[in-house]
A and B are shown apart, each in its own frame.
Chain A
Amino acid sequence: MITTTSEHIAGKQVVKTLGIVRGNTVRARNLGKDISAVFRNMVGGEVAEYTKLLAEAREQALDRMVAHAEAIGGNAVICARFATSEIMGGAAEIVAYGTAVIIE
């Protein structure tokens, strides 16, 4: 399924708009990784634990959004966006949302 941040998909026509689809997740790394992150905060540099954490959360949110779009019969998602909230320290809530459409 094509997901895009733009309103138009090059070479295709949107024939039907189905509505908002979204997928979200809240993920945390384990305690060991959180402790490593505290030390990295002291020494500097990329906190790879949290890079991976946010990437995991993004992928899972995207996959859930696509699954929602498939469930309502769409074959593409346009205007996809990400948003984030803070639920607990050390956990990332990411929601991916967009408009499910049928393209030809």
Chain B
Amino acid sequence: MSCETYQPLITGYLDGELTDEQRGGIEAHLETCEACRQELADLAELKESLAAIKFTEPTDTELERFWAAIYNRLERGVGWILFSIGGILLLCFGAFRLIESVVRDPDISLVVKIGVVALLFGAVILFVSLLRERLKVRKKDRYSREVQR
């Protein structure tokens, strides 16, 4: 039996799709034919590398494309800036009004006034301190930097 007969069967042999008779025949042929053995080896390698290919998830490429568009980045940035400015303004205004109303009110005792002011200032200083700590540590925090999902 010649290579012409068995070469088309090589892929079937790799995938286990041959009948017993065909498998016997091709195995006998492979023992004698160097060219067909090489063909089998090449196809086996190709099959292995094809199986190893991973496709990136479709959602990932869509996300990347979204973020590559500068309009989207700008839009997100503008949204955040406006939101943050609004939040900070309202917080400061609220805190200022609270302190003002407490300090100006003659009926509230001095102890309470001092307490409220100290509490608020203390909270602000604590927050700033923790924020500074986080910003410093963040550079070293490999989990924040490296872990995606």
Least Cβ–Cβ distance between B12 and chain A, in angstroms: 33
**Chain A interface, >50% SS class:** helix
The reply to whether the CB of A70 lies closer than 8 angstroms to some CB of chain B is no
Out of A32, A46, A48, A52, name the residue touching B147 (CB < 8 Å): A52
Within 8 A of A (CB), among B79-115: 80, 83
The reply to whether the CB of B148 lies closer than 8 angstroms to some CB of chain A is yes
Interface size class of B (residues with CB under 8 A): under 10
Least Cβ–Cβ distance between A63 and chain B, in angstroms: 9
Within 8 A of B (CB), among A22-67: 27, 32, 35, 46, 48, 51-52, 55-56, 59-60
Decide if B59 touches A32 in the complex (CB within 8 Å): no
Considering only CB atoms, which chain A residue lies closest to B59 in the complex? Answer: A46
What is the interface of chain B, defined by CB distance below 8 A to chain A?
59, 80, 83, 143-144, 147-149
What is the interface of chain A, defined by CB distance below 8 A to chain B?
27, 32, 35, 46, 48, 51-52, 55-56, 59-60
